[in-house]
Amino acid sequence: MQQNNGVGKSQLISFAVFSLILMGVMFYFQSKQQPVEDGAKPSVQPVQKSNVPQLQRHPDTASIQKVQLKNDLLTVDFTTLGGQIANVKLNKFNAFDEKIKDKPVLLFSGNNADYGFQFKDKSGKLVDTKDLIFKSTTDGNTISMQANAGEATITFIYTLLDQYTIDFKVRTQGLTSLVSDNKADFVWNYNVREIEKGRSQEQTHTEFVYAFNNYKSYDYDSRGDMNEEKEILNWIGVKQQFFSALIESESGFKNSSGHQEVIEKGEFLKKFHYNGHVDLVANELNQDFKWYFMPLDLKLLKSYGKNFDEILPLGWSFIGFINRGFFIPVYNMLSSWGIAAGWVIFLMTIAVKFILSPIMYKQHKLSAMMRVIRPEIEEVQEKYKKADPMKKQQATMEVYRKAGVNQFAGCLPGLVQIPIFYALFRFFPNMLDLRGKSFWFVDDLTAYDDVIKLPFNIPFLGEHLSVFALACTIVILIYTIMSAGNMQQPTQEGMPNMKPLMYIFPITFMFFLNSAASGLSWYYFVSNAINIVIILVIKYFILDEKKIHAQIQENKAKPKKEGRFQTRMREMMEKAQAQQRQVEQMKKQQQKKK
């Protein structure tokens, strides 16, 4: 009976040659990316107008003016139409654009956002501050805007504070003569502009975010309507992949509701509408608010102490703990050495492999033990070929038990990898420090690489092929072929053969990685390449199959005590056999009666 001896030395040589070829291809693509010379100016094409209608504003009049406040991080323009923030530019960041170099990150601009307070007067007519023309005065980093609504005076006071914060105070006088209600509606409309490379990925990360329960609780909404009628929101915002715009209310927003709508094409990703109540005290609106226009940097978000760090989608519970407690600190430590981000990911991969090495060693040892006892397993399957499938399964498990092989222990490495994979799936597209970091031919490790552009669209794949995703898929396929040789065929009739599914998985993985962050593809390319090296090293330099065979024979000679899992499996099989015999007896009795 012929045994499968696993990987031969010729395969080791083949893998080494393949790796060199693959690295050569990557360097080739890198060399094809010509840098722009310092003196060269890229041609700037006029920006196409979006098919999404702009938010409605009044036509320009001579009385409408704009005033600007600026610090190192923010440039903010205010308009006297509605007394609103008209433009917000984050000074330290650039948006992705294939044609425009150094395109600024603009959260509010071009009438894509408006907000204001709505009151009902005593006749039932709606008064909206967005329709009022304010007069402005500037004093240092503070702008005061004042408008009249009937006999009432409404004053908005904006102060640009440190970092990314704008203090926003609302004061009214004489509003009691105008309104008959004890509340005002705060209404915010926001068409979110595309900033990053990879529309679908950024669209997925664009959603409502809000805190309540005195900043202790946090929630988000990425689809359709949001309704928080019972909670008092401390702040409400809209986050994108790396940036957020949010407003905080000192007294809180009540009876909140919102709606979002996906925009398929154009410069905008989604439309947002929010409505929340704020209280009037003695029929006057005297409330304090703050606007925040921030990059989603974990350290920055934590510094505010208002649960802003929950905006960063690093994963819930244990997944988030892995990112916050391991991947982010390790990345920060390695990047502080001044090495390229791609090599930081490379070293992170090695660190993870080192931590998981005891589990991986046990997995490969188990694979070697199963390969050694395979002839005995095949003999049992042949012996009970025509017998009851349950007996064949019991006989197979008895061979494993006597040999001291726990076949279910091989599931442990796979289970360990699941939370790590999901943590990395959250880490790479949300790590601000990786944004815009290039590596070889990749211009941004938080987005896909599209070096290979296709003249047509492939469903679920797009109009490009990611080199990193393609390389990762090939390496995963090689690793699967090398490790699948140890997989047993189904021991019961009707059970599916998992081997074909294992080969299909790397191909389907390509569709997932092709539009994912290239840093994730690079990580898994390195991870699976290391897996292949580990298999070869363990096979040829660490594990001796002759010694393993001798150990198995010793295990057979020793009396074996069943573990709890094995006992339960045996009891379940015996119970199933008893039920099967009972059913057969009942069938025989019914046939006799007939």
Q: Which two tokens stand for residue 410?
A: 């091989």
**Band of pLDDT at residue 566, cut at 50, 70 and 90:** low
Using alpha carbons only, what angle is made at residue 21 by residues 16 and 23, rounded to the nearest 5 degrees?
A: 95
Using alpha carbons only, what angle is made at residue 210 by residues 324 and 146, rounded to the nearest 5 degrees?
A: 130
Greater confidence (29 vs 110) lies with: 110
Q: Which of 442, 418, 444 is nearest to 432 (CA)?
A: 444
Greater confidence (557 vs 281) lies with: 281
Region 113-127 average pLDDT? 87
Counting Cα atoms < 13 Å in the Cβ hemisphere of 19 gives 16
**Band of pLDDT at residue 189, cut at 50, 70 and 90:** very high
Q: What integer pLDDT is reported at residue 484 of this predicted model?
A: 64
**Band of pLDDT at residue 501, cut at 50, 70 and 90:** low
Residue 130 has pLDDT above 90, yes or no: yes
Q: What integer pLDDT is reported at residue 26 of this predicted model?
A: 46
452 DSSP β-pair partners: 465
Distance separating alpha carbons of residues 196 and 295, to the nearest angstrom: 13
Q: What integer pLDDT is reported at residue 412 of this predicted model?
A: 63
**Band of pLDDT at residue 10, cut at 50, 70 and 90:** very low
Q: Which two tokens stand for residue 13?
A: 């040589």
| Element (DSSP H or E) covering residue 412 | helix 411-427
Region 183-200 average pLDDT? 91
Of 160-164, 362-366, 456-460, 564-568, the poorest mean pLDDT is in 564-568
Q: What integer pLDDT is reported at residue 150 of this predicted model?
A: 83
Distance separating alpha carbons of residues 164 and 161, to the nearest angstrom: 7
Instruction: Name 221's Cβ contacts closer than 8 Å, sequence gap at least 6.
Output: 207, 208, 258, 260
**Band of pLDDT at residue 563, cut at 50, 70 and 90:** low
Residue 222 has pLDDT above 60, yes or no: yes
Q: What integer pLDDT is reported at residue 5 of this predicted model?
A: 40
Residue 75 has pLDDT above 80, yes or no: yes
Alpha helix stretches (DSSP H) within 205-340: 298-303, 317-322, 328-335
Q: What integer pLDDT is reported at residue 491 of this predicted model?
A: 46
Contact yes or no for 314/301 (Cβ under 8 A): no
**Band of pLDDT at residue 479, cut at 50, 70 and 90:** confident
Region 452-478 average pLDDT? 82
Q: What integer pLDDT is reported at residue 28 of this predicted model?
A: 43
Q: Which of 57, 107, 61 is nearest to 82 (CA)?
A: 57
Region 57-74 average pLDDT? 78
Contact yes or no for 28/87 (Cβ under 8 A): no
Per the prediction, the chain carries an average pLDDT of 78
Q: Which two tokens stand for residue 161?
A: 């504070």
pTM over 0.85: no
Q: Which two tokens stand for residue 349?
A: 């991969």
Contact yes or no for 77/87 (Cβ under 8 A): yes
Region 561-569 average pLDDT? 59
Q: What integer pLDDT is reported at residue 52 of this predicted model?
A: 43
Q: What integer pLDDT is reported at residue 91 of this predicted model?
A: 94
Q: Which of 431, 467, 432 is nearest to 448 (CA)?
A: 467
Greater confidence (545 vs 203) lies with: 203
Region 436-447 average pLDDT? 86
Instruction: Name 548's Cβ contacts closer than 8 Å, sequence gap at least 6.
Output: 365, 368, 369, 372
Q: What integer pLDDT is reported at residue 47 of this predicted model?
A: 34
Q: What integer pLDDT is reported at residue 3 of this predicted model?
A: 38
- Residue-wise pLDDT for 358-376, tens only, equals 777 777 777 767 766 777 7
- Residue-wise pLDDT for 18-54, tens only, equals 445 444 544 444 444 333 333 333 333 333 334 444 4
Q: What integer pLDDT is reported at residue 44 of this predicted model?
A: 30
Instruction: Name 341's Cβ contacts closer than 8 Å, sequence gap at least 6.
Output: 335, 433, 434, 437, 438, 439, 445, 519
Identity of the amino acid at 401: R
The 10 Å Cβ neighbour count of residue 418 is: 10
Distance separating alpha carbons of residues 369 and 94, to the nearest angstrom: 55
Backbone angles phi, psi at 297, to 5 degrees: -105, 125
- Residue-wise pLDDT for 240-283, tens only, equals 999 999 999 999 999 999 999 999 888 899 999 999 999 998 88
Instruction: Name 538's Cβ contacts closer than 8 Å, sequence gap at least 6.
Output: 361, 364, 365, 368
CA 401 to chain centre: 42
Residue 77 has pLDDT above 80, yes or no: yes
**Band of pLDDT at residue 406, cut at 50, 70 and 90:** low
Strands 142-149 and 225-228: unpaired
Contact yes or no for 289/250 (Cβ under 8 A): yes
Backbone angles phi, psi at 167, to 5 degrees: -75, 135
Residue for token digits 């009739």? 493
- Local structure of residue 19 (DSSP, 8 states): H
Residue 401 has pLDDT above 70, yes or no: no
User: What ranges make up the beta strands (E) of 13-83?
Assistant: 66-70, 74-79
Backbone angles phi, psi at 385, to 5 degrees: -60, -40
For helices 564-593 and 389-403, the axis angle rounded to 10 degrees is 160
Greater confidence (567 vs 327) lies with: 327
Q: What integer pLDDT is reported at residue 242 of this predicted model?
A: 93
Q: What integer pLDDT is reported at residue 11 of this predicted model?
A: 42
Q: Which of 150, 124, 146 is nearest to 137 (CA)?
A: 146
Contact yes or no for 76/160 (Cβ under 8 A): yes
Region 117-131 average pLDDT? 87
Residue 17 has pLDDT above 70, yes or no: no
From first CA to last CA, the distance across the chain in angstroms is 50
| Element (DSSP H or E) covering residue 166 | strand 165-173
CA 219 to chain centre: 16
Alpha helix stretches (DSSP H) within 111-267: 199-204
Instruction: Name 484's Cβ contacts closer than 8 Å, sequence gap at least 6.
Output: 499, 502, 503
Q: What integer pLDDT is reported at residue 74 of this predicted model?
A: 95
- Residue-wise pLDDT for 282-338, tens only, equals 888 999 999 999 999 999 999 999 999 999 888 888 888 888 889 999 999 998 998
Contact yes or no for 404/555 (Cβ under 8 A): yes
Identity of the highest mean pLDDT range in 92-101, 137-146, 213-222: 137-146
Residue 525 has pLDDT above 60, yes or no: yes
Identity of the highest mean pLDDT range in 14-18, 29-33, 167-171, 455-459: 167-171
The pairs formed by 230-234 with CB atoms below 8 angstroms and a separation of 24 or more are 231/256, 233/276, 234/210, 234/306
Region 135-151 average pLDDT? 92
Greater confidence (150 vs 285) lies with: 285
